[in-house]
Structure 1
């Protein structure tokens, strides 16, 4: 009888997507061919981008943006799922997460267009309604309509969903453990071959260098960080964060340096990290506890960083935050 080798081989796959790179790190038995999986992973994230990008005028999202109010627009199933999640988190966060800020994202130069002062003034002056009050979803028939003019932007959730798609596709190829990422959004599945959790760094929110602030050890959990230190525009001597304040249609005037959220899915972690940047640490910690989220806020205090923690994982751990998480069903 032919015996199969039980030796596990480490595989590290990556590719370009959504202005960043996707990565997949996992181990499989000797003889596993990673090439078909690499193609499937690239196809999966390309499909997310094709449906949800605001850089592509023919994306399903941009076709919805272009549709007149009160006209039903057909949607792909995956875009419907992301819109449902986005609107639900918008409601749960009291509007702190709002996908209806596409006009402001574009006006301030965080999208496909350059900064436009006329558009900035219009975005700041616009009377705003939260997306969950404007967008109606018909999930049974895979369609949506808008009850008024609105420009939707999924940059605060699409990469997280892309990571979840990487996990789903890899599972279809028999991968039961791994670390999957797009940019700063990551999801750990199972354990490493030696039985230990996957280690992930929480980055120090520094404009000039990349360094770890703390280390997470994750099992079957996702983590996302939103911050003011990687994507910004300069306005005189000030740096303006890419995170838009839905209440005013402009970049946040004040915010934490970063917010790290741990959740069962990367889509949820991504959206909540954006929402809690908007709320700030005081209101955000209370909101996180209300929704059973594990959250770490980092705020600058001179040359030091001040932490605010919420959730069992962060509130009961040492400063290194080295621990395993296995979300409940």
Structure 2
């Protein structure tokens, strides 16, 4: 997944080496299913599959693709796993671009971007590419990996743990002090690791998406790495990070990305309408301003 993971288990007599071996094997399997770094992964085989021809899916990939399509609809297209070609063309992929794409070029790329070109069978066992789309699950697969590790720990009988992959995490029970797990929300400034706020969680998942570290300056203009899959352009709003708290980390991961595209006003309106807990940092006149939904109040650690 191109990142690190961390697991904390609060229990007596933990076989750390044995548990690590189980977790490594699980994450390796997920990587072989969903990685775009591995040309032989199941996902990359799907990305090379014949257009219009059903492709048999593993249960795990089927779930993540179905969940991606569900959240795509809920965010009105803001979360879209086919946005990769646009991200690459704006210079945030493996090849760095220094020329801003013309409108005609973006229009051509957009012809093969869109969740509507990805079909999943009613039984969820097959997927079809209706256009030569390229599916990239980097905005949901880490969260799914967190969920899978958490469920492994649950199945092993552990009651108190924290699982984190690349900053996305899920907790259950209490920490070593018998208290709710305390999670820091990073402050978007020039001092990485500084804390903007702390939240207290029990049996929840949390993911953060931010634009404050990944951007490009071209000809005096700053472009965010967050690309709107509907317009093809980098977002231009003042939302610098959004943290989402939900039951599953896959959902939190995907919604955090979708909200980063939607911007602060639309995200807050959605969160309030759907009783979703989100915490946003926006930039106003050079200052960082905190905003959060009503459902987030319960997590603020005073």
Q: TM-score, normalised by structure 2?
A: 0.91
Shift of 1:157: 0.7
Could you list the runs of 5+ residues in structure 1 that have no partner in the other structure?
1-17, 324-329
1:93 aligns to 2:75 (yes or no): yes
Distance 2:41 2:100 in 1: 26
Aligned residue pair count: 301
Shift of 1:119: 7.7
**Aligned partners of 1:95 and 1:130 also within 8 Å:** no
Distance 1:48 1:207 in 2: 34
For residues 100-134 of structure 1, give each alpha carbon's deviation from its aligned partner in whole angstroms, at most 9, with x where no partner exists.
11211232343344437598877622345774422
Shift of 1:84: 0.6
Q: Which residue of 1 aligns with 2:142?
A: 159
Shift of 1:239: 4.1
Distance 2:55 2:277 in 1: 36
Q: Which residue of 2 aligns with 1:8?
A: none
Q: CA RMSD in A?
A: 2.3
Shift of 1:273: 0.5
Relative contact order, higher structure (CA 8 A, sep 6+): 2
Large movers: runs of 4+ above 6 Å: 118-122
Question: Comparing 52-61 with 135-144, which one deviates more in the overlay?
Answer: 135-144
**Aligned partners of 2:98 and 2:218 also within 8 Å:** no
Shift of 1:141: 6.3
- Where is the strand percentage greater, Structure 1 or Structure 2? 1
Could you list the runs of 5+ residues in structure 2 that have no partner in the other structure?
none
Q: Which residue of 2 aligns with 1:266?
A: 249
Gap change, CA 1:237 and 1:156, over 3 Å in 2: same
Q: TM-score, normalised by structure 1?
A: 0.84
1:251 aligns to 2:234 (yes or no): yes
Distance 1:147 1:219 in 2: 42
Distance 1:122 1:130 in 2: 15
Shift of 1:196: 1.0
Q: Which residue of 1 aligns with 2:175?
A: 192
1:307 aligns to 2:290 (yes or no): yes
